Amino acid sequence: MKIKWYGQASFLITADDGTMIVTDPYTPETSGYQPVREAADIALISSDNDSFHCRADLIPGQPVVVNALALAQNGGERVEKGIPIRAIEAMEALNHAYHDPDQNGMYRFVVDGISFGHMGDVGNALSEEQMAFFKGVDVLLALAGGHPTIELDDLMTVIERAQPRLIIPMHFRTLTYKPRNSLWIETFLSRFPNDEIDFAFSSEATLTRDTLPSSRRLLVLDYVHGC
């Protein structure tokens, strides 16, 4: 499969059979990142009321939209186009510096035998139930920018408990990201030994079950730049 980071919490994952999944699409004009141009089959959103995480309406084609919060509140599991999806409820930071906190959903899904965990827009330390939800994921799409999402100390607890084989950071400050309310990636990376960190030097990487690391590693992707 291929994974591409568009920016913020939005990834495009393309399965070996061509199925395309977009996570947490944003509003380009307010985020500063490029529009998603691929016609996806599935759009996973962590809520339906946050323009940085819910803009499935901007994705080309007619993707099946899965709202993780709604899924968590209605059974917590479903399968779309052969992709099993699970979700659990979460909240934005209860001490949010910019607005009252909203609910959202965190989610897991499996593509080509690789399990992904996406942290949505959670802003608080995870409960025991929430940490158990991520236990054993192969790839954790981790909120690495600090407040208003989860604080880095609390994120490290999730990583230690979940034990993902690969961590791909997201939702951190970049030169393109218009809001200036999150940390640069260096703050998160400073918590890991240098020999655990890989840089793709691209917005895209190829993952297979056989080539996943046997022990924890970080993969830092660049965001999609304009043509």
- For residue range 86-102, what is the model confidence (pLDDT) as tens digits? 999 999 878 776 666 78
Closest C-alpha to 9, from 42, 37, 61, 45: 45
Distances, alpha carbon 195 to alpha carbons 142, 191, 220, in Å: 19, 12, 13
Q: What are phi and psi of 80, to 5 degrees?
A: -130, 125
Per-chain mean pLDDT for the chain? 95
What is Dmax (Cα atoms) for the chain?
A: 44
pTM score, two decimals? 0.96
Return the number of other C-beta atoms located less than 10 Å from residue 129's C-beta: 9
Tens digits of residue pLDDT in 108-138: 999 999 999 999 999 999 999 999 999 999 9
Q: Is the CB of residue 151 less than 8 Å from the CB of residue 159?
A: no
Q: What are phi and psi of 90, to 5 degrees?
A: -150, 175
Could you tell me the domains of the chain?
2-206 (3.60.15.10)
d(CA 201, CA 222): 6
Q: Is the peptide bond before 148 cis (omega within 30 degrees of 0)?
A: yes
